[in-house]
Structure formats: C-alpha cells, structure tokens
Structure 1
C-alpha cells in the first residue's frame, strides 16, 4: 500500500505490528515500513545466561520502548540507488568511482563474485558503512518530512523478537519442520555461505519483518558498549561514546553496533540478542541496514 505523499503522516492510523500491513511515505525510493507497538511492561533486551551461546555483553536489561516504525526489509539496492541518483548518498563500495572494488572498473573480485545477488534491485544493499546508512536516513527525512534514522539496538531487538523470548523468533533452535527460515551457514538455504538472499526471502516474523535473522548484518544507531546496563532505558540509542571499562579490559571506543548475523556466519550469531560492532566507515559484503521512523505524537 502506498500512502499519499511527502508530509502526510498516516502511519499512526495504521494497525500496529501483526496486522500484516505496511506503508511507504513515497513510491520512488521509500522503503516499506511496519508500525511496531510500544513494549509491554517488563520487556528486556539481552538474553538469559541459560541461553546457548549467550555472551557477556548480552546482560538482560529492562527497557520501555515507545511505538515506532521500522523497515519491513533491509534497505534494498533499488531503494539505496534512488538516494545515490538524487545526490543524497555515496555509491556503495562496489560502485564507488575509481575504487578497486568497483565491479565494473576495479581490479578486485571482492564483490564481483556475488553477481546478481549483489546487484539485483530487490537484494539488500551491502558495501555501505554506518555513515552511508545514516546519510540514506537523512535523505529520506528531507524527502518525506518525517524523521527517519537507524533503529536503536533496543528497538531493533524488540522488533526482531516480535513478542517472543526465544533465541530466534521461531524458537531456540533452527527449525525442525523442514521449513528454511533464514540464510546463514548451516541454515539450509540455497544462499548459505555464498551470497545474500533477496530482501523478502523466507517467511517474515510475526510482526512482518523479513530477514531479521541472518542474511546481512544491520547497522544500528548506537555506540557499542559491553555494559548494556549503563545505556538508555527508554529504547533510545546510546549516542555518547562513554562506555565504562569492564574489569581489566579497556572500554570500547568509536565503534557502532550491528545486529542480526549474516549469510556468511553460523546460526549462533544471528540470535535476537547477539551483538556485533565495527568502526563507522567499515564496508563489507555482509553488512547492510534497515531504517526506523518516528511516529507522530
């Protein structure tokens, strides 16, 4: 469903997540968005210590998240290219003019080997940095009059879980019913360990989000910090690079968080609570993003 154009705020009138409906703020580059309800009392991000493959930076913390909207899919090649064409975004690394990884003129096969799984319009865009992702969100904001951004870690995890408390939205292990629900090393898909799957591959989670587990890592808005307990409790991102030291280890500095795992990683790192990090100018064929959007009060 395409809503009327820029400046019109209709998202608040739509059913909350679970209704299976999406909206777009424009029909020429705007991603499909899903409205996510506010979190229930007592909701926690992170995982219990009893969860297999739990890591020390997944300490459970109670947060209260207001309703917001998030991309139904990872931002696609077609959507990102619309921003590039409009002058709002730099090309992804695989189209960077003069770059060694340019699939048309460069010497490297780093991206070229992915073929149509890299360049197809409905593929998740990869080879984009945190800075590129925030530039895309800023372009959407100026284009539509609504505030787009990267989701916070808390928002991303809440939306990915879709009301569940298990390692993945479908349960604690890979499905045993013969249905493939994600692309990862060992997930059983045709893309495992080879290339990203299309942005709408597999069944979405109960709130209508595709590929929250596996496929490509997704940038979030937060500075990464080992100590989740010191972060915001209202679901907003950690925007100050002030992580405390953990024991004898120096604090993380200058790195941003990523979520969701990837087609090139095993299932254990695509759990809802799993966290990764990298510097904001990092680009890679396993890293993309999805956007979030504020709703009218």
Structure 2
C-alpha cells in the first residue's frame, strides 16, 4: 500500500476540530469549521487514478472557510424537523408509500431495520428537495444560513488535505484496518446497511464517514465537465451547463455507500440523479456559512 499522503498545513488535527452546535439540546447537528483552502488547491483526480471517470478533471478552486457537518445528518436530527412539520417524512415513513417500513409491502427498508431507524444512523430515503427543506428549517430555527455544501466544498472537506483516492491513502483499508463501509471494504455491514454516523475514524478535518456508509447530496447541478464549476468553490447554478443537448436538472451526491464498491467512494467520485430521487443509500451532510 502506498504511504498516506501528507495533508496541507491547516493547523487542524484529527479529533481536535473547532466545532459548532447552534442548539445542542434540540437535535441540531454538530459542525466542524474547515479552514480556507491553501493556494493551488485542486479538486478532481489525476489521470492515472485507479477508477477515475472522465468527468473528474483536476482544476484549481479557492474555498473560503465554512462549517460542515462533522457527521452525516442523523435520523434523530432529521426526524426532529419532521415532527416540527418543517420537513417531509423520509421515503420509509411516507404515508401510503409501498416502501413505508411499518405499513408498506416493500422489503428493502424493512430488511435493514435498525440500520435505517436508529437515532444515530445516517438519515436515508431523503431527496435533494428534502435535504434543502431541512436546511431551510434549521436556518429559521437558529438564525444562521444552513445549506447543502457545494461539490467543491464537499470534496475539499472530505479530502482533509489529502491528494489520494481516500483521505487515508490509496486502498480501501489502511494497513489492513477497516476504514469504511462499502461493498468490498471488509466491514461486517458491507452490502447490508450503514453504521452509526460516528463509526470509524475521523479525517484530519474531524469529519466522519466521508467515504462509504451513505451517499451525500450536495448543492450543485450536475455538469459532466467538473472544471466548469465556479473557481470560488460555490455551487454550480446552471441547469444546462452551457452545453447544447445536455440533460438538465440533475443534482449531485458524493462519497459512496455500504452498497457500492470502493472505487465509488473515492474523494473525486461524482454521481447524479433527479432532485426527487430517494432510496436507502442516499442521505446528506449539512453546511453553514460563517459570519464575517
């Protein structure tokens, strides 16, 4: 296995991040303050990276400091929004849905049981629209601007200063140690369902489970050319990507899941679907602007 790539100098140590929680007694997510990106920072993957897709071309971005969830949004955190009528229920609790874990005929969610319903599990069965409803509810509740991270912000935070396939190196395991849940990562839940959001090790910025476990929605429209995104790391807002005959309106999720292969949880990997898409593999991580 190749050696772990040295992170950029950020002053942030794994396990010792600057954290924010705007309402810790009310099921609000804990955030990590991510420092501004260093000069010359690039997102995407080099041409020789194993598993690389053509849409991952390297390009430089300059990202200002922001806050992002230390963990994926928990089931208990999202359900607090549902209880307050700020969010629609997840697919597995939607009334009349065949996938309803209590009343439906579908077996997917039922077969996963507590992997879905546990308070500390990552919320899944959430659309891009649902994730934004949660951000709007949390913004109103706290007075801060919560949102989904941009693709660039997500990748920068997930990398934690690394340039490798995963924040810890090039292989799914680190010197034989299981580091994530994916179909081939070596965990006891590979292909079965996600772990609690605080399982495995945090990356150098203090974020947990940025690889595997559950995919995470980000703010951008999907464009095949990754380098077409804004150079300041903000979310891509063009539906058409400026390309004739492009499929318009797709949104992006990142990070892989317990049900996908190791190559699909790489830091640069990008998947997309319609903003209404929901299933047992997709959740989200929240971000927040920092006040000047």
Instruction: Compute the TM-score of the two structures, normalised by the length of structure 2.
Output: 0.93
Paired residue for 2:4? none
Aligned residues of 2:220 and 2:236 also touching (Cα < 8 A): yes
Q: Is residue 280 of structure 1 aligned with residue 275 of structure 2?
A: yes
Tell me the secondary structure at the aligned position of residue 57 of structure 1. helix
Displacement after TM superposition at 1:251 (Å): 1.7
Q: 1:290 to 1:16 in 2, by over 3 A?
A: farther
Paired residue for 1:103? 101
Paired residue for 1:154? 152
RMSD: 1.3
Which ranges of structure 1 fall in alignment gaps of 5 or more residues?
A: 1-14
Paired residue for 1:94? 92
Paired residue for 1:64? 62
Which ranges of structure 2 fall in alignment gaps of 5 or more residues?
A: 1-9
Deviations 1:181-206 (A, max 9, x none): 10001101111011111111101111
Aligned residues of 2:139 and 2:145 also touching (Cα < 8 A): yes
Distance between the aligned counterparts of 2:12 and 2:273, measured in 1? 30
Aligned residues: 280
Paired residue for 2:248? 253
Displacement after TM superposition at 1:178 (Å): 2.5
Matches within 5 A, 1:71-86: 71-86=69-84
Q: Is residue 22 of structure 1 aligned with residue 7 of structure 2?
A: no
Matches within 5 A, 1:204-219: 204-219=202-217
Tell me the secondary structure at the aligned position of residue 17 of structure 2. coil
Instruction: Compute the TM-score of the two structures, normalised by the length of structure 1.
Output: 0.92
Aligned residues of 1:68 and 1:293 also touching (Cα < 8 A): yes
Q: 1:291 to 1:101 in 2, by over 3 A?
A: same
Tell me the secondary structure at the aligned position of residue 112 of structure 1. helix
Paired residue for 1:7? none
Distance between the aligned counterparts of 1:30 and 1:101, measured in 2? 27
Tell me the secondary structure at the aligned position of residue 39 of structure 1. coil
Deviations 1:79-129 (A, max 9, x none): 000000111000000000121111111111121110111100000000000
Match of 1:165 among 131, 148, 163: 163
Tell me the secondary structure at the aligned position of residue 111 of structure 1. helix
Tell me the secondary structure at the aligned position of residue 108 of structure 2. coil
Distance between the aligned counterparts of 1:220 and 1:245, measured in 2? 21
Tell me the secondary structure at the aligned position of residue 237 of structure 1. coil
Tell me the secondary structure at the aligned position of residue 34 of structure 1. strand
Displacement after TM superposition at 1:21 (Å): 4.0
